[in-house]
A and B are shown apart, each in its own frame.
Chain A
Amino acid sequence: MAMEEAREAVGDYDLGWHDPEHSTIRFDSGLSEEVVRKISAIKNEPSWMTEIRVKAYHHFVNRPMPGFGDREALEGIKFDEVCYYLRSSDATEKDWDDVPDDIRNTFDRLGIPEAEQKWLSGVTAQYESEAVYHSIREDLEAQGVIFLDMDSGLREYPELVKEYFCSVIPYQDNKFSALNTAVWSGGSFIYVPKGIKVEMPVQAYFRINAKNMGQFERTLIIADEGSSIHYVEGCTAPTYSTDSLHSAVVELIALDGAHIRYSTIQNWSANVYNLVTKRGIAHEDASIEWIDGNIGSKLTMKYPSVILKGEGSHAEVISIAYAGKGQHQDAGAKVHHLASNTTSKILSKSISKDGGRGSYRGMVTVSPKAENCKLNVVCDALILDDESQTDTYPTMEVANASARCEHEASVSKVSDDQVFYLMSRGHSEEEALAMIVNGFFEPFTRELPMEYAVELNKLMALEMEGSIG
């Protein structure tokens, strides 16, 4: 035991501590129709939800693994050893003081209550399967903005949830969207009324604490006509010698003229499989932006997508991926131009180091009826050493000749001369690397709220430490 703990404490991931596990309900590991029904029963869900969960479960069981990405790593997922539901606190509190001590301490260490005070419109904090804390600023509530954890959303607004749930990502979309639909728990439900612009971001933070945990949050954001919202999510987990599974589904609906920005800093520990489906649908003149940062996890497969359904709508996907030792980041973006005068911009940057592997997988399509679309795709990779690897799989299917497409890709290495130049200005080799790496990520970082940008720069500096042989 001591050996194992020691091993788990190694490494430079300094968010990898764990609290003693507490649970008021903990399922035995493994998945069956009974488990799915039990989750639904515990939550007292309407029968339509139970039914869709069960259908999704059977689809999951019968659906083969994806034929792309890291098939070897995917085959290594031990679905039988995962715990599919763990409740660590019976209530979602509105006051941090009412959250159980251990859990509150963890979120304190992660800086969440402090950030909430300073610059957020609302916060939801999920620990294992359920939200343990949730709040929204009163003025927003008064304007009719709904910001709830997904379970409360379903309880309080069943009609709205029923209308949009699985409307952007059907459970049959892929094996992991089926899994999520079967066992989802937690996540956020947001509705922004017509014309309301939420100025400060709302934040969700997801923490896995238990070993072999599966976290399956489900998020649904509906921005009504002319409204806008910025949603920010972060996530971390303890470092364990066995694997955990995180498989979320996020659906965004931007109605006419609405604007949704969804920012993620994913920093799971290196034993978490992160297999997430994120997609938004943009109606007339709406815009959806995914700002997607992937620093942690063992394997990430995630391709935030936008369906440009309405004329004049706009999509933007700006992403970074950092693949260090034992990590594979298979990330990218997808945009489908279904209507005329739609525009999209994809910027993807990846860094691989210490044998890590970064892959860009992108798909942009223009349908025959969509006139005058503009597409811009840029993907850059930076490789820090000879053991590391990068690959790109860009696809463009343009069925309308009026489209204007731009595509650029580059792969570069950090040169000794670049490092020497910075060292000659008094910076150690590690600091020099951190400057180069943070510079490379800058087009992403500048899109983040300042507090996040500072954290990300520190994080990357930490990753460069102890890396010089």
Chain B
Amino acid sequence: MSDNQPVLSIKDLHVGIEGNEILHGINLDIARGEIHAIMGRNGSGKTTAASTIMGHPDYEISSGKISLDGEDLLELEAWERARKGVFLSFQYPQAVPGLQVGHFLRKSVASIRGEDSAKGPVFREALKSAMEEVSIPRSFLSRYVNDGFSGGEKKRFEILQLMLLKPKLAILDETDSGLDIDGIRVVSRGINAAIRGSDSGALIITHYSRILEHVKPDYVHVLIEGKIVKSGGPELALELEERGYEWLESGNNGGE
């Protein structure tokens, strides 16, 4: 593995669901320590891309490649990808009634980072400081995973998991949606703590630029109807904020 090998490399990825192609040839490289943003309207294929990288079995890959640190991911199941270092913060986290948060976190840390990280003071300290960072009270530990959580609590809980699992690649699917300004500030603090200064790569998926003011991306890509139509620096996010997406849609490329 050479030093300039990307953490995530996606080549000409075509993905469909129930026979309909949704992603039409995506290319994306994320190097160590880089933060990329994918912006796009609802229905453009953002969650499809995130779920495919994580390994959701419902998405059919007709061609293309996804690799992590040069290793092919496509043959691996979601849990194996997680153990290799892929993390997804879900747009819609799922509730598991009866599964206690504390128990779940410990089990997840054990399976991804090893038993030693999930035991004793090491785990307790990591848990305590991560919970403080994203303003989650201790009482949360005995609640059930995402069961009856508010929208904001769900998102903070996703970021808490990000902080504890320390992935090589963090994919954040609309972590900002449904949050107020304070909520965005809190989750951003957690995201920065988890990935700044590490050599993890991050892919932030959003349709507003607001979160990008708190977690500055190195690159911004625009996804329209399953294709990346434009890539640029952080300034592209601001431009999208001002001008919307229309000027980038097919047949409207006059602005280029």
Interface residues of chain A, those whose CB is within 8 Å of chain B, are 415-418, 420-429, 431-432, 435-436, 438-443
B interface residues (Cβ-Cβ under 8 A, vs A): 51, 54-58, 77-79, 81-83, 87-88, 90, 92-100, 104, 107-108, 111-112, 144-145, 161, 165
Extra contacts, 8 of them, besides A417-B92, A421-B90, A439-B98 (Cβ < 8 A), are A423-B55, A424-B79, A424-B87, A426-B111, A438-B99, A439-B97, A440-B98, A442-B98
Known: A415-B94, A417-B94, A439-B144. A425 touches B111 (CB 8 A): yes
- Are A426 and B82 neighbours in the complex by a CB distance under 8 Å? yes
Consensus secondary structure, chain B interface:
mixed
Q: Which residues of A contact B165 (CB under 8 A)?
A: 425-426
**A468 CB, nearest partner CB in chain B, Å:** 10
- Interface secondary structure of A, over-half rule: helix
Please determine whether B97 and A426 come into contact, CB atoms closer than 8 angstroms: no
Q: Chain A contacts of B56 at CB under 8 A?
A: 420
Whether the Cβ atoms of A416 and B57 lie closer than 8 Å is yes
B98 A418 Cβ-Cβ under 8 A: no
Q: Could you pull out 28 A-B pairs where Cβ atoms are within 8 angstroms?
A: A416-B57, A417-B92, A418-B95, A418-B96, A420-B94, A422-B96, A423-B55, A423-B79, A424-B55, A424-B79, A424-B88, A424-B90, A425-B108, A425-B111, A425-B112, A425-B161, A426-B108, A426-B112, A428-B77, A432-B79, A435-B96, A438-B98, A439-B97, A439-B98, A439-B144, A439-B145, A440-B98, A442-B100
Cα–Cα distance between A421 and B91 once the two chains are bound (Å) = 11
Minimum distance in angstroms from A347 CB to a CB of chain B: 12
List B contacts of A415 (CB < 8 A): 94
Q: Which residues of chain B have C-beta atoms less than 8 A from A426's C-beta? A: 79, 82-83, 108, 111-112, 165
The residue on B at minimum CB distance from A349 is: B98
Residue numbers in A under 8 Å from B81 (CB-CB): 424
User: In the complex, A443→B100 CA distance in Å?
Assistant: 12
Q: Are A427 and B98 in contact (CB under 8 A)?
A: no
Query: In the assembled complex, how far is the CB of residue A57 from the closest CB belonging to chain B, in whole angstroms?
Result: 45
How far does the Cβ of B61 sit from chain A's closest Cβ, in whole Å? 16
Q: Are A440 and B97 in contact (CB under 8 A)?
A: yes
Assuming the contacts A416-B57, A435-B99, asked whether A424 and B78 have C-beta atoms less than 8 A apart, the reply is yes
Q: Which of A423, A425, A428 has the most CB of B within 10 A?
A: A425
Cα(A428)–Cα(B80), bound, Å: 8
Q: Which of A422, A429, A441 contacts B77, CB < 8 Å?
A: A429
Decide: A421 near B98, CB < 8 A? Known: A426-B82, A435-B104: no
Contacts of A439 in B (CB 8 A): 96-99, 144-145
CB neighbours (8 Å) of A431 from chain B are: 79, 111
Q: How far is B115's CA from A321's CA once the two chains are assembled, in angstroms?
A: 32
CA A74 – CA B23 in complex, angstroms? 56
A207, B83: Cα distance in complex, Å = 42
For residue B105, which residue of chain A has the nearest CB?
A425
Q: Which residues of B contact A417 (CB under 8 A)?
A: 92, 94
Q: Which of B55, B83, B90, B96 contacts A436 (CB 8 A)?
A: B96
Q: A420-B78, A421-B93, A422-B96 given as contacts; is B58 within 8 A of A427 (CB)? A: no
Q: State in angstroms the CA–CA spacing of A415 and B58 once bound together.
A: 12
* A443 CA / B51 CA spacing, docked (Å): 32
List, in ascending order, chain B residues with CB within 8 A of A427's CB: 79, 107-108, 111
Partner among A416, A423, A435 whose Cβ is within 8 Å of the Cβ of B82: A423
Contacts of B79 in A (CB 8 A): 423-429, 431-432
CB of B252 to closest CB in A, whole Å: 35
The answer to whether B77 and A436 have CB atoms under 8 Å apart is: no
Asked if A418 contacts B82 (CB within 8 A), the reply is: no
B161 CB contacts on chain A under 8 angstroms: 425
- Residue numbers in A under 8 Å from B55 (CB-CB): 423-424
List chain A residues, Cβ under 8 A from B88.
424
Question: CA separation between A428 and B93, bound complex, in Å?
Answer: 18
> With the chains together, A388 CA to B3 CA distance in Å?
52
CA distance A396 to B93 in the complex (A): 38
- In the complex, the answer to whether A420 meets B57 with C-beta atoms within 8 Å is yes
Residues of A within 8 A of B96 (CB): 418, 421-422, 435-436, 439
Task: Name the residue of chain B whose CB is nearest to the CB of A442.
Answer: B98
Contact of A424 among B54, B58, B92, B144 (CB under 8 A): B54
Contact for A421 among B77, B94, B97, B107, CB less than 8 A: B94
Instruction: Identify the closest chain B residue to A422 (Cβ).
Output: B96
